[in-house]
Chains A and B, each alone.
Chain A
């Protein structure tokens, strides 16, 4: 499925989230089962199936990670398990050290240290998004270095998920 064309959008990495949400709302309204109460069963089913696809496409385009994955697929660069280059050792070392620091901060209930790690990861996350934006702004098929950016995005994403678990933990105590 091409989630962009499903929503009638151009396949770009830059997305106006407000406009995307409006498109989704409008399409969902147009495809709402209430509008098809009088329609023949076949038409009703088609509208329902389309509504499901529209929801999937909306989620895929809204999240920058799945949006990037969709763009790699559309441009013919293979991604996914076993198809992506191994991360650089230095990068892995940074990831591991941040994860250890986060785990220490959690153990010490050090909210300030958690906040600092979070800010650094958010900045890295933003930087990778900007770099991916530059990749997709060009018409060429993204190369291996672009796929490495996608991997980095997932590492930062995982880290930030862990941060929010730790924050919940610290709030609860």
Chain B
């Protein structure tokens, strides 16, 4: 199958591959997998004091489109507030990467990973606040 140039760029030179400390209270980790194809994706965000995402890293084991989708997602996440990050839609990724219909599920996976990382961060923060009050 032919990949678009943008997918190839991200696959050959993925941005922000790596790991953040998942125990850090300012780090949110999203771990998602696509049962229909066996791809697995981890996306992490580090949120600064102003509620702005300072850093984002990913590790994806899957096809080129899944790698490109998560690489693009981390690029987009940096500098965004959580609300802005949450507004990222898989269709934005599809459009930017020119993904064909059979690869749309890769962008869905990336959107899931973003949402799940944000949810993890918020849960940690909520827990921290509860601990402080206690």
Contact = CB atoms under 8 A, between A and B. Distances in A.
A25 to B, nearest CB: 32
A100 interface: yes
Contacts of A79: 36
A155 to B, nearest CB: 5
A82 interface: yes
B32 interface: yes
B31 A155 contact: no
Task: Name the residue in A82, A150, A162 with the highest tally of chain B Cβ atoms < 10 Å from its Cβ.
Answer: A82
Interface string A151-167: 11011011100100000
Contacts of A108: none
B35 A150 contact: yes
Interface string B33-45: 1011111101000
A158 B60 CA distance: 13
Given A81-B105, A96-B61, A155 B40 contact: yes
B35 A86 contact: yes
A100 B61 CA distance: 9
A92 B36 contact: no
Q: Which of under 10, 10 to 19, 20 to 34, or 35 or more describes the interface residues of A?
A: 20 to 34
A84 B36 CA distance: 7
B31 A96 contact: yes
A80 interface: yes
A89 to B, nearest CB: 6
B59 interface: yes
A3 B11 CA distance: 37
Given A96-B59, A96-B61, A158 B35 contact: no
A99 interface: yes
Given A148-B35, A158-B61, 6 more contacts: A86-B32, A86-B35, A92-B32, A96-B42, A103-B61, A155-B40
6 contacts: A81-B105, A82-B36, A95-B33, A150-B35, A152-B35, A158-B61
The 10 lowest CB-CB distance pairs between A and B, nearest first, are: A151-B35, A158-B38, A154-B38, A99-B61, A84-B35, A81-B36, A92-B33, A87-B33, A155-B38, A92-B31
